[in-house]
Amino acid sequence: MPHKITLTGSATGPLREYDRYVAFDMREKGSPSAPKGLKKSTFISYTVFVAKKAFNKTGLTKKSIMHEKILIQGEPTLDIPIDECPGEVGVICFQITVLPNKNDKEKTESDAKKENKQEASAPSEAQKNTESTQQEDEQAPVSQPAAKEEKKSAEMVQSEAKETPVQEKKTAPSKRELPNQPKGTQDLVSFDKIVVPEAFLNTRPNPEKTQKVIDFVKRTGRLDEPLTIEKGSNVLKDGYRRYVVAQTVKMDKVPVIYEYQK
């Protein structure tokens, strides 16, 4: 089975274009400690090779690739000529994803909070109509027989209002609300506790569909659908693409639906 490798960071060198692919260099920190007697590894340099078609879909350019944070998933190779692969390790890229910028995420969250505050502070049309109706009723003169009728009907309404909450309290089911989560979410589970089967790890989610989910998370701050996991064991049953997206944007907790053992 071929080895898999995942890199996160920005390009450390300029983009180099070839016939059907592009290449650029990345760097990751080495191990902080080494076995006694061996030299410490300060960093490891990589040369990443990406198909032009996949690279163009990301919207990256020669300038932006030096500043954007990207996620590379692929496998190492030693078959590339040294003049094309200056890094210590060559990486054949199967999937490239642009990670969301921290400043953009904070801006989106602040805009969403502002919109919620504006909606909460703005009085609704129904409230305005109710207030104007109450003011008209207070100003209009009422005759004694009409006043008695109004008093009687008001008492009946009050007695019905007292009985109605009791009935609603009995019939309304207690339901746990999870704010800002996809429909059907039963619980929020720590991302680190989810167990991914080997069958999922051997698959590669479609990059275009994965990018759409990442864009949705950028806009809303949540996944579009919950993951399905087995109750008790937390084994992933469905939603591996959303699992990859949650891993990419570094979610601490993810929405889930439980599937019980048969």
**What's the confidence (pLDDT) of residue 113?**
72
Q: Answer for the pair 39, 46: CB distance below 8 angstroms, yes or no.
A: no
Quickly state the pLDDT bin for 183 (edges 50, 70, 90): confident
Q: Which residue has the higher pLDDT, 133 or 215?
A: 215
**What's the confidence (pLDDT) of residue 66?**
86
Final residue of a structural domain among 83, 99, 115:
99
**What's the confidence (pLDDT) of residue 173?**
46
**139 located within any domain:** no
Q: Answer for the pair 10, 70: CB distance below 8 angstroms, yes or no.
A: yes
Side by side, the strands of the sheet bearing 89-98 are 5-9, 70-77, 89-98, 43-51, 21-29, 16-17
pTM above 0.85, yes or no: no
Final residue of a structural domain among 49, 71, 99:
99
User: What mean pLDDT comes out for the span 88-101?
Assistant: 89
CA-to-CA dists, residue 7 to 11, 49, 76, 87, 232, angstroms:
11, 13, 11, 14, 32
Q: Is the pLDDT of residue 15 over 50?
A: yes
- Judged by DSSP in three states, 58 sits in coil
Tokens of 226: 């919950």
**46 located within any domain:** yes
- Domain range enclosing 210: 187-259
**What's the confidence (pLDDT) of residue 149?**
65
**93 located within any domain:** yes
**251 located within any domain:** yes
What CATH number is given to the structural domain containing 46?
2.40.50.1040
**36 located within any domain:** no
Quickly state the pLDDT bin for 181 (edges 50, 70, 90): confident
**67 located within any domain:** yes
